Amino acid sequence: MVLGTNRYSKSQLLRTKGRILDMKRFKDMTVAQLLAALASPEPTPGGGTAAALAGAMGTSVLVMVAGLAKSKNNTDDEKAALAKARAAIEPITTRLTQLADADAASFDAVMAAYRLPKATDQDKTARTQAIQAALRGATEIPLETLRACAAALEHARVVAEYGNRAADSDTGVAIGLLKAAAAGAAANVRINLGGLKDEGFKAAAEAETARLLAASALALA
Predicted TM-score of the model (pTM): 0.87
176: nearest Cα among 187, 166, 184, 188: 184
Report whether 103 contacts 52 (CB < 8 A). yes
CA–CA gap between residue 66 and residue 72 (Å, rounded): 10
State which amino acid sits at residue 32: A
| pLDDT beyond 80 at 60 | yes
149: nearest Cα among 172, 179, 174: 179
Burial grade of 175 (CB within 10 A; 0-12, 13-18, 19 or more): buried
- Kindly indicate the confidence band of residue 75, based on its pLDDT and cuts at 50, 70 and 90: very high
**pLDDT tens digits, one per residue of 81-135:** 999 999 999 999 999 999 999 999 998 899 999 999 999 999 999 999 999 999 9
| Alpha helices (H) in the chain, listed in sequence order | 10-22, 31-39, 47-66, 76-114, 121-162, 168-193, 199-218
Burial grade of 95 (CB within 10 A; 0-12, 13-18, 19 or more): buried
pLDDT in the model for residue 24: 64
C-alpha distance from residue 172 to each of 7, 97, 169, 209 (Å):
35, 21, 5, 23
Burial grade of 9 (CB within 10 A; 0-12, 13-18, 19 or more): exposed
CA–CA gap between residue 65 and residue 197 (Å, rounded): 44
- Kindly indicate the confidence band of residue 23, based on its pLDDT and cuts at 50, 70 and 90: low
pLDDT in the model for residue 44: 80
CB-hemisphere CA count at 13 Å for 22?
Answer: 5
* 47 Cβ contact list (under 8 Å, min separation 6): 1, 184, 187, 188
**H or E element that contains 42:** none
| pLDDT beyond 60 at 5 | no
| Domains of the chain and any CATH numbers | 10-24+44-218 (1.20.120.680)
